[in-house]
Amino acid sequence: MTNPWEIYDALIDCLPADIRVTRTGQGPRWTRVLNSAESVGSAWTMDVRSRPALVEDSALIGKSLRDVAALVRSWNLAEASVGLAAVNSWYSAPGTAEGNGFVPTGEGTTWRQVFDPFAADIAGKKVAVVGHFPFAQAALAGAAEYSCLERVLQPGDYPDSACEYILPECDYVFISSSSFVNKTTPRLIALSRQAYTVLVGPSTPLHPVLLDHGVDTVTGYVFSPDVAQADAFAELVQDNTIGSGYRVHRHRA
């Protein structure tokens, strides 16, 4: 990929022009956006504000979804979290996800089970997970070699800078879609071009254009319509888990 913004522009350009943002909320772990089509999007909160925001928070309500989604390009990462949540507020709608070729992975599937379907495929393989999912290593225990790369390090993790050395040598790479916020996604995908690459996590935009940019499987979350209600949305913002009312979806391909 010669232009790392291409993947962002493709996601923004596919958004409808007539949908507006009606509510936003940023909790300690998750940022949420509700739009006028009454669908909700989620993104990991990166509370990094070293650069000035492009738009005041108070000015977000009523703006077009495309304009707010474009904030995913901001280098104020707290603001970029809002932009990604706005992107996902359209693609995480059940009807939109289905229309884009995504199907539920199973009734009752939780986010702690997103790695389970790959357990047999990765047996004896060299595997890397970008992002510290505490349940990933157990699900992928059959790997011949397992590496976790993380910016906020925990015991056993590699620093994320090791991606330049580790990812090109892997057979399977799972990338947390929170990487869309800090703009590392395009590089991580490029480094994983020899591997089977999977985007995972609640921050994943459910759009097949990601497959055109070198991703093999896209798996993310669809929120049920009831979370668009005022009380439910307020609770969702403060919830430190992914939140209730979601289903794990995976692209048919």
Instruction: Judge whether residue 253 has pLDDT over 60.
Output: no
pLDDT tier at 228, thresholds 50, 70, 90? low
Whether residue 247 is predicted with pLDDT greater than 60 in this model: the reply is: no
* Residue-level pLDDT at 69: 98
- What domains are there in the chain, each with its CATH number? 6-101+224-244 (3.30.390.100), 102-221 (3.40.50.11590)
Q: What is the CA angle 55-242-54, rounded to 5?
A: 10
Using pLDDT thresholds of 50, 70 and 90, give the confidence band for residue 232. confident
Say how far apart CA 57 and CA 237 lie, in whole Å: 15
Dist CA 161 CA 164 (whole Å): 6
Is residue 248 scored above 70 in pLDDT?
Answer: no
The strand pair at 102-104 and 40-44 is best described as: unpaired
Residue 13: CB atoms within 10 A of its CB come to 10
Which residue has better confidence, 29 or 233?
Answer: 29
pTM of the model: 0.92
Q: Report the sign of the C-alpha dihedral through residues 247, 7, 168, 154, in that order.
A: negative
**C-alpha–C-alpha distance, residues 231 and 169, integer Å:** 47
Among residues 168, 167, 172, 170, which one has the least CA distance to residue 121? 172
* pLDDT tens digits, 58-116: 899 999 999 999 999 999 999 999 999 999 999 999 899 989 988 887 655 666 788 99
Q: Which two tokens stand for residue 164?
A: 């330049």
| Mean pLDDT lowest among 75-84, 219-228, 244-253 | 244-253
Q: What are 132-188's pLDDT values in tens digits?
A: 998 999 999 999 999 999 999 999 999 999 999 999 999 999 999 999 999 999 999
Average pLDDT of the chain, as a whole number: 90
